[in-house]
Structure 1
Amino acid sequence: MLTGWRKTVSKFFLIPQRVVLAIMGFLAIANAYTMRICLSVAITEMVKKNYNNETVDGEDFCPIVGGGGEDSQGGEFEWSEELQGLILSAFYWGYVVTHLPGGLLAEKFGGKYTLSLGIFSTAIFTLITPVTIEWGGSTALIVLRFLEGLGEGTTFPALSALLAQWIPLKERSKLGSLVFGGGLVGTILGNSISGVLLHNIDGWASVFYFFGGLGVLWFVLFVILCYSNPESHPFITDEEKAYLKEELGTLERDKSLPPTPWRAIFTSAPMLALICAQIGHDWGFFIMVTDLPKYMSDVLRFSIKENGIYSSLPYALMWIVAILTGFLSDWCIARRWVSITNARKWFTGIAAVGPAIFIVAASYAGCDRTPVVILFTIAMGIMGTFYPGMKVNPLDLSPNYAGTLMAITNGIGAITGILAPYVVGVMTPNRSITEWRLVFWIAFVIFVVTTVVYSIWASGEVQPWNTPHLMNKSVENGDTDDEKMANEKKSKLELTLNEEKIDKQQ
């Protein structure tokens, strides 16, 4: 029971602590994405743009319209498209490396410091970016971006471990969409604010100082406000603690669980389908996040201010769709209108096929700016259904190992972040519409193939290997098939009990 100063502090919070955690998780991802993608906008002003008359006047190239040429000469660095692709992809080399360690550390020691220290290190590296470039040029920038990726790689695994400890099943889609939708808000702010800063302040360094500073501020607030689980929280109310214990069955992770069941995880059809879908989503998403500002600048010839604004619009709609469909998903599941499995499949399918169609259509709109911006915005808006779809699926499959599952899926998917920017740089040496159209067609094929795999083998049920000690006990005791099946049903107890509670509350 809360007493003394803890009780006094708890009265200052008008919302439950799980919602405080969700908001801070949302801000964590938002900060992470602003620091990740601000370079994608800034680089358009850091690099010289050597357009020649032949290029500008060709049929496959858009003319400079209105104010589009006001800052078209770019900056001081002569970096080729291929080198720019390498710089932008360097982040993901580090990002992939720390995913799995981040998930394991979060499960063993708690997600609080695994998450916060990762964001803090990324913020420091962002702050020193201008000095690093001045000192070591493109090579030093590549190394620094790799280090930023190392810091940020723990973000999603640590957050998944935190959410598994804090968020009940019936709130998982909406709060999960809120948290993971932070990446969209971060992309919006990263694009739009970067454009405004670059337009109004002489020099590109301000972008890195601004977003790095916000990252440090978030770290301080998070360390004060958030904790790894309800049991360790010093000023959570007794009412909320009782509610979470009833809904989740426990207030902290079961420390008696055996080591991670690697073999079972990597031979699980739903898990492999999830990995496949993540690869497809990330390929298309990273092309848009990393290279949409370059498309707006190099192909459509928007000014830097216009670039920042119009590159943000798709993610604004995507965030709205993510939040609304998160509520819709929970609502439909609670009323038994759709199973968790089918909800995950449907929303994931929509998030893949819709964008695949519209980004290809945008490439055929040519230099007509308004239709292109509208089509890109619709494409990314539809992609928002990804969040109540496969993004929260690791929490369905294994609450006990959610951090590890998120580390595996997000880490493998992030490999596309290494490949996509570099491939785009290699495929678009002349920055022509035809070159970019081929980029979008490749994304179309990857979207469709991976979502078909997910639609066949995905699941929203807790997997038997979520509680491997029950599986192992069956083997040791020589249980019959019926007894093994009974133990597997026990491993799904959390899901069943929570669904029954939802029904009773309707």
Structure 2
Amino acid sequence: MPSNKEKCSFWQQRYLISILGFVALAISYVQRFCLSLAITEMADGHHQHSLKNSSQICKSEIQKSGNLSVSIEKDLEFDWDEKTQGLILASFFWGYVITQIPGGMWADKYGGKITVALGVMFSSLGSLLTPYVARIYGPTALVVLRLLIGLAQGPLYPSLNRLLASWVPIEERGRLGSLVFAGAQVGNVLSMQMGGFLMRYFDTWTSVFYIFGSLGFFWLMFWLLIAYNHPNHHPFIGSKEKRYLSEAIHTHDPEDMEKLEIPWKEIFKSRPVWGLIIIHIGHDWGLFAMITDLPKYMKSVLGFSVAQNGLLSGLPYILMWLVAIGSGFMVDSLIASKRYSITLIRKIFVTIASVGPAVGIVLASYSGCDKMWAVFSFTLGMGLMGTFVPSLKVNALDLSPNFAGTLLAIVGTIGCLSGTMAPYIVGLMVPNSSLEEWRSVFWLSAAILVITNVVFIELGSAKVQPWNETKKRKYDEENDFKNFTPILKPL
């Protein structure tokens, strides 16, 4: 076994693949959520506010006018009401849930390299086409395009999870898993902060789609050259790293997965799997509701400009990224100490990722027009959600390394159904975008986060499940026949 120095060399292939996986998620999340900010500069929400009701909306400067009603909206390119905007924002998730299970099964059988490549490629193409489709064909066509982008991105998480199962030993799973999956938080930051900067610098909302779409094709060149499905097939891997991974990881090579069959019945009867599904429902609701609708809250209620909106809406995800990376090292250290069970460690960090955001967003809703307190509460609360990366996101690897792609796809598909509903339901709950309406949204999100966490504490586990090694009956029967040696008794 190689020394610690050899195992921690930066240029070892599992670190390079993890970095590229991180960039893939960052790009995909930028393309997924940059519309949430851009739509505030694209469409008129049709809500005006009376000075008599100025307690419902916070403005840095209220026009000094004798008129009782002052519109704070400017003329925007599209005439879409809040319901239409909610449908457009939600449509991504309709496609996203469809391809997760097929993508995860494909990744388990053939490896995750090509699945990730195709997902980023088609998502990037859809981003480049977004301005054209919105302007020429209107909101219905944009809903269809966003659905197609969701179809492309559905396999990304399961495929990356399968690659991690083949490349990352359990004692490095916290930090390397955090590195890869924290790409989502970086993507959120870029979509908010860089998106706001680009729209202000180029004075057009189209810039975010053209620039972020092009980044995906640039990344694709490196991925096709460097990423491989398994250490056994990598042409550039060093002998020491290959030997270390072969001793530390016991996940089947994708080429050998024909020997195993997916134990569907056992998976859906598993208590830890259902615990993971339910906590994913809560997490995805809280995260997607904030990502898609926080920019609208910052603009319509707190009165921030697009540049301020992009900067401040991105702060929670900067902290979330830092917390994810830091907690990844903490999780690995706690596991290495062997003082606590892996199950207990996972549950503690999942709880922080649920209760922290619930408290933060509720406090923000009672900040009134105190913008600094609102931003602080959002940032701290959502930042603590970063602890879900080395706990919730790697739990499928704990339960079943051989079926990590399929399992995360099942969990993600069911959990992400909340993501398909959150933006649309929020749009229905805030027709006037008042502070009171938004407070109801935040209370609902907090309740979902806490209740699903209680269920995970009861049902969750980090132990490898017995069905992880379920072999195909046909394969076993054929091998039994080949290995059968008849015993001939003398007459």
- TM-score, L = length of structure 2: 0.91
Structure 1: how far apart are the matches of 2:242 and 2:362? 49
Q: Which residue identity does 1:371 align to in structure 2?
A: W
Match of 2:57 in 1: 61
State the Cα distance separating 1:65 from its structure 2 match: 3.5
Contact kept, 8 Å, 2:56 with 2:301, in 1: the verdict is no
Change (3 A) 1:149 1:56: farther
Q: CA-to-partner distance for each residue in 1:332-362, whole Å, 9 max, x for gaps?
A: 1111121110011110011101111110010
Match of 1:309 in 2: 311
Structure 1: how far apart are the matches of 2:258 and 2:465? 18
Structure 2: how far apart are the matches of 1:120 and 1:230? 24
State the Cα distance separating 1:56 from its structure 2 match: 7.5
| Residue 416, structure 1, aligned to residue 418, structure 2 | yes
Structure 2: how far apart are the matches of 1:99 and 1:301? 38
Match of 1:142 in 2: 143
Match of 1:17 in 2: 13
State the Cα distance separating 1:140 from its structure 2 match: 0.8
Match of 2:26 among 24, 30, 36: 30
Q: Which residue identity does 2:303 align to in structure 1?
A: R
Match of 1:382 in 2: 384
Match of 1:333 in 2: 335
Change (3 A) 1:70 1:369: farther
Match of 2:374 in 1: 372
Segments of 5+ residues of structure 2 without an aligned counterpart are 1-8, 64-69, 477-491
Q: Which residue identity does 1:151 align to in structure 2?
A: A
Change (3 A) 1:231 1:314: same
Find the residue that maps to 1:400 and give its secondary structure. coil
Change (3 A) 1:423 1:246: same
Contact kept, 8 Å, 2:45 with 2:80, in 1: the verdict is no
Q: CA-to-partner distance for each residue in 1:206-260, whole Å, 9 max, x for gaps?
A: 1100100001111111111111111111111111101100111367244343320
Match of 1:454 in 2: 456
RMSD: 2.1
Structure 2: how far apart are the matches of 1:398 and 1:471? 19
Match of 2:203 in 1: 202
* Between 243-252 and 440-449, the greater mean CA deviation after superposition: 243-252
State the Cα distance separating 1:202 from its structure 2 match: 2.4
| Residue 347, structure 1, aligned to residue 349, structure 2 | yes
Match of 2:96 in 1: 95
Find the residue that maps to 1:439 and give its secondary structure. helix
Structure 2: how far apart are the matches of 1:59 and 1:71? 14
Q: CA-to-partner distance for each residue in 1:452-483, whole Å, 9 max, x for gaps?
A: 01001111110000012399999xxxxxxxxx
Structure 1: how far apart are the matches of 2:72 and 2:318? 26
| Residue 118, structure 1, aligned to residue 119, structure 2 | yes
Change (3 A) 1:35 1:397: same
Q: Which residue identity does 2:390 align to in structure 1?
A: P
Q: CA-to-partner distance for each residue in 1:342-395, whole Å, 9 max, x for gaps?
A: 011110011101111110010000111000000000011111111111110000
Change (3 A) 1:233 1:446: same
Structure 2: how far apart are the matches of 1:284 and 1:145? 21
State the Cα distance separating 1:100 from its structure 2 match: 0.2
Contact kept, 8 Å, 1:124 with 1:212, in 2: the verdict is yes
Contact kept, 8 Å, 1:244 with 1:251, in 2: the verdict is no
Find the residue that maps to 1:313 and give its secondary structure. helix
Match of 1:163 in 2: 164
Structure 1: how far apart are the matches of 2:170 and 2:263? 23
Change (3 A) 1:290 1:424: same
Match of 2:446 in 1: 444
Structure 2: how far apart are the matches of 1:183 and 1:65? 35
The runs of at least 4 consecutive aligned structure 1 residues that moved more than 6 Å come to 470-474
Q: When the two structures are aligned, how many residues end up with a matched partner? A: 461
What is the correspondence of 1:39-58 to structure 2 with a 5 Å cutoff? 39-48=35-44, 50-54=46-50, 57-58=53-54
Identical positions, percent:
48
Q: Which residue identity does 1:362 align to in structure 2?
A: A
- TM-score, L = length of structure 1: 0.88
Match of 1:187 in 2: 188
State the Cα distance separating 1:406 from its structure 2 match: 0.7
Contact kept, 8 Å, 1:465 with 1:471, in 2: the verdict is no
Contact kept, 8 Å, 1:65 with 1:301, in 2: the verdict is no
State the Cα distance separating 1:52 from its structure 2 match: 3.5
State the Cα distance separating 1:15 from its structure 2 match: 1.1
Change (3 A) 1:52 1:232: same
Segments of 5+ residues of structure 1 without an aligned counterpart are 1-12, 475-506
Match of 1:494 in 2: none
Q: CA-to-partner distance for each residue in 1:136-184, whole Å, 9 max, x for gaps?
A: 1101100000000000001001001110000001000110011001000
| Residue 222, structure 1, aligned to residue 223, structure 2 | yes
Structure 2: how far apart are the matches of 1:473 and 1:142? 45
State the Cα distance separating 1:409 from its structure 2 match: 1.1
Contact kept, 8 Å, 1:56 with 1:62, in 2: the verdict is no
Contact kept, 8 Å, 1:123 with 1:215, in 2: the verdict is yes
Change (3 A) 1:381 1:472: farther
